[in-house]
Structure 1
Amino acid sequence: MRFILLLTIGLLIACKSDKKFHGEPLAIEGVSEKMKGILEFQSKYDAMFKDPEASPLPDRFRKDFEGLEYYNADTTYVVNAVLERTPDAIPFKMSTTTDEQRNEVVFGIAHFELNGKSHQLEIYRSADEGEAEVGDYLFLPFLDETNGNETYGGGRYIELEVPSGDSITIDFNRAFNPYCVYNKKYSCPLVPRQNYLRTNVRAGVKDFKKD
């Protein structure tokens, strides 16, 4: 199953009111809309991980699962990037953790400021299917200087949607680990080296400790 659709379907399942794994909605007061969105994302993401029908966790990890470890929610890691669209980009083969390869195309390049420095990241769109099947889903994998220490060494992912204009909001608080971090049965795209951020991105999901 595709890496983006897995997350999206999982979150939708977790949000259903008839799921015993979801519980009551968060009562979040006295915070900004940005902060509320981050906290709600974490709650729904943890609920999905508890759900045996949607979770990537093997049973031995899920039975005692209480929640993933996140950095503290921080709205300074919500950036408004200038989007340089690349309509003439040629599809390419993106390597994965298995022998499988994904057909991807660079949808655009995001230019933004973070931690006092200028950065850019390539944003990808699936070239495996027609535009109608892909929908508005975009894929942003990235590496940063926390990898291998505080976060998973292979980098993290962010799910985005096609924006209407030439800017795009990237919320690093929504950065999540590839599913193969939790279960080796998944085939996970490897982050292209050009998407390495020379800064610490202390936002989103931290590395998963199995012991």
Structure 2
Amino acid sequence: MQYQRIEKGRFLSRPNRFIAHVELNGRTEIVHVKNTGRCRELLTPGATVYLEKSGNPARKTKYDLIAVEKGNLLVNMDAQAPNQVFREWAEGGGFRPDLTLLRPETTWGDSRFDFYWEAADGSRGFVEVKGVTLEEGGHACFPDAPTERGVKHLKELIRSREAGYEAAVCFVIQMAGMTDFAPNDVTHPAFGDALRLAARSGVQVIAQECAVTPDSLSISETVPVCL
């Protein structure tokens, strides 16, 4: 995926989940943060951030904060990006080469999955996509905060698998150079337990890191999953 009209700034503060104060061209700008997660290890005072200027003159904020430098890492933190880059990757044959249908936001029973797919061999299934921005010593982790919603999604994937569908959860790591991926058992052990149960139940667990630039994001390499 490609961003437009990118500008470089310096992070100052984050009054709430939705906005940040950024120094841009010598002035303080109030910008929209495209990630409501904590991101405390990313948004530190003085960090270099990248903003996309909106093309909508009626918006209250002119910019979206989409990426941040963490040491030598460039981390995309746009929470909407993982689904988009997964779709681009899957449509290009990365998920599986024989897809005949890839439909986003599909309801099944009481569940709503990020994607439903069908393949030429008659198989069909669901995929949940999770964006990963947490890194510790070259290891990618999820989640960065407790997520009961994430546990619920895994349980729904298990139910779909029991009903005869194929099922997968894809962790889109929004940075490059990771050694591996693992659930963050320290922050939310219940999510790690649910992920291991899902894997034992036949749910495919995938981790894909991304090539990241200030104005682009695309899925690149497969990363080993450590459960």
Normalised TM-score (structure 2): 0.26
Structure number having the greater strand percentage: 2
Return the structure number with greater relative CO, CA threshold 8 A, min gap 6: 1
Structure number having the greater helix percentage: 1
| Largest Rg, 1 or 2 | 2
